[in-house]
A and B are shown apart, each in its own frame.
Chain A
Amino acid sequence: MMNNPWKKDFPQLTDGSVYFDTAATSLKPQSVIEAVNHYYHDLSANIHRGMYEAAVITTELYERTRETVAHFINANPEEVIYTRSTTAGLNMVSYIYGLEKLNEGDEIIVSELEHHSSFLPWQNVAKKTGALIRFIELNQEGRITVEAFKKVLNDKTKVVALTYVSNVMGYITPIKEIIELAHQYQAIVIVDAAQAIQHIKVDVKDLDCDFLAFSGHKMLGPTGIGILFGKYALLKELDPMEYGGDMNEDVNKDVSTWKEAPFKFEAGTMPIASVLGLEAAIRYIENIGIQNIHEHVTKVHRYALAQLNQISGITIYNKGSETGIISFNIDNVPSHDAITFFAEKKVALRAGQHCAKLICDWLGIYSCMRASIYIYNTYKDVDLLVETVKQAVEYFQELGF
Chain B
Amino acid sequence: MTGLDNLYREIIMEHYKNPRNKGLVENQDYRLFRIKNPSCGDDITIQTLVVDGIIKDCRHIGHGCSISMASASVLTELMIGKSVEEAEKIADNYLNMVANKEYDENIDLEEAEVFSGVRQFPARIKCASIAWVAFKDTLK
**A334-B64, A401-B66 known; A352+B13 contact, CB < 8 A:** no
Stretch among A270-278, A340-348, A372-380 lining the B interface: A340-348
Binary A-proximity of B55-75 (CB < 8 A = 1, otherwise 0) = 000000001111100000000
Q: Among A343, A344, A352, A400, which residue has its beta carbon within 8 angstroms of that of B41?
A: A352
Chain A nearest Cβ from B126, distance in angstroms = 9
Total number of B residues with any Cβ neighbor in A under 8 Å:
22
Q: CA A335 – CA B64 in complex, angstroms?
A: 9
**A337-B66, A353-B39, A367-B40 known; A399+B123 contact, CB < 8 A:** no
Q: CA A401 – CA B69 in complex, angstroms?
A: 13
Contact residues in A for B127 (Cβ distance below 8 Å): 336
Contact residues in A for B64 (Cβ distance below 8 Å): 334, 336, 366
Whether B41 pairs with A340 at a CB distance below 8 angstroms is no
> Does B17 belong to the interface (CB within 8 Å)?
yes
Q: CA A142 – CA B124 in complex, angstroms?
A: 31
**A366-B63, A400-B13, A401-B66 known; A341+B4 contact, CB < 8 A:** yes
> Does A351 belong to the interface (CB within 8 Å)?
yes
Interface range on chain A: under 10, 10 to 19, 20 to 34, or 35 or more? 20 to 34
Q: Which residues in window 1-50 of B have CB below 8 A to A?
A: 2-4, 7-8, 13, 17, 38-43
> Does B121 belong to the interface (CB within 8 Å)?
yes
**A341-B4, A344-B3, A399-B8 known; A353+B41 contact, CB < 8 A:** yes
Contact residues in A for B13 (Cβ distance below 8 Å): 399-400
Q: CA A352 – CA B13 in complex, angstroms?
A: 21
Chain A nearest Cβ from B117, distance in angstroms = 11
Chain B nearest Cβ from A70, distance in angstroms = 35
Binary B-proximity of A346-363 (CB < 8 A = 1, otherwise 0) = 000001110001001000
Q: Among B17, B43, B124, which residue has its beta carbon within 8 angstroms of that of A340?
A: B124
Q: CA A334 – CA B3 in complex, angstroms?
A: 19
Q: CA A401 – CA B127 in complex, angstroms?
A: 17
Whether B41 pairs with A366 at a CB distance below 8 angstroms is yes
Contact residues in A for B66 (Cβ distance below 8 Å): 334, 337, 401
Whether B8 pairs with A336 at a CB distance below 8 angstroms is no
Q: CA A401 – CA B42 in complex, angstroms?
A: 17
Chain A nearest Cβ from B61, distance in angstroms = 14
**A340-B4, A401-B66 known; A335+B17 contact, CB < 8 A:** no
If over half of A's interface residues share one DSSP class (helix, strand or loop), that class is named, otherwise mixed; here it is helix
Q: Among A337, A344, A352, A357, which residue has its beta carbon within 8 angstroms of that of B67?
A: A337
Q: Which residues in window 77-96 of B have CB below 8 A to A?
A: none
Q: CA A365 – CA B112 in complex, angstroms?
A: 29
Whether B39 pairs with A352 at a CB distance below 8 angstroms is yes
Q: Which residue of B lies closest to A353 (CB)?
A: B41
Contact residues in A for B124 (Cβ distance below 8 Å): 336, 340
Q: CA A343 – CA B123 in complex, angstroms?
A: 10
Chain B nearest Cβ from A399, distance in angstroms = 5
Contact residues in A for B121 (Cβ distance below 8 Å): 340
Chain B nearest Cβ from A345, distance in angstroms = 10
Contact residues in B for A340 (Cβ distance below 8 Å): 4, 7, 121, 123-124
Q: CA A334 – CA B63 in complex, angstroms?
A: 9
Chain B nearest Cβ from A357, distance in angstroms = 7
Chain B nearest Cβ from A397, distance in angstroms = 12
Chain A nearest Cβ from B66, distance in angstroms = 5
Whether A353 pairs with B38 at a CB distance below 8 angstroms is yes
- Among A334, A339, A353, A357, the most chain B Cβ lie within 10 Å of the Cβ of A334
Chain A nearest Cβ from B51, distance in angstroms = 35
Q: CA A122 – CA B7 in complex, angstroms?
A: 42
Whether B41 pairs with A360 at a CB distance below 8 angstroms is yes
Whether B40 pairs with A344 at a CB distance below 8 angstroms is no
Whether B65 pairs with A344 at a CB distance below 8 angstroms is no
Chain B contacts to A: CB under 8 angstroms:
2-4, 7-8, 13, 17, 38-43, 63-67, 121, 123-124, 127
**Pairs across A and B, CB under 8 Å, 26 listed:** A334-B66, A335-B40, A335-B41, A336-B41, A336-B42, A336-B64, A336-B67, A336-B127, A337-B67, A339-B123, A340-B4, A340-B121, A340-B124, A341-B4, A343-B123, A344-B2, A344-B3, A352-B39, A352-B40, A353-B38, A360-B41, A366-B63, A366-B64, A367-B41, A395-B4, A399-B8
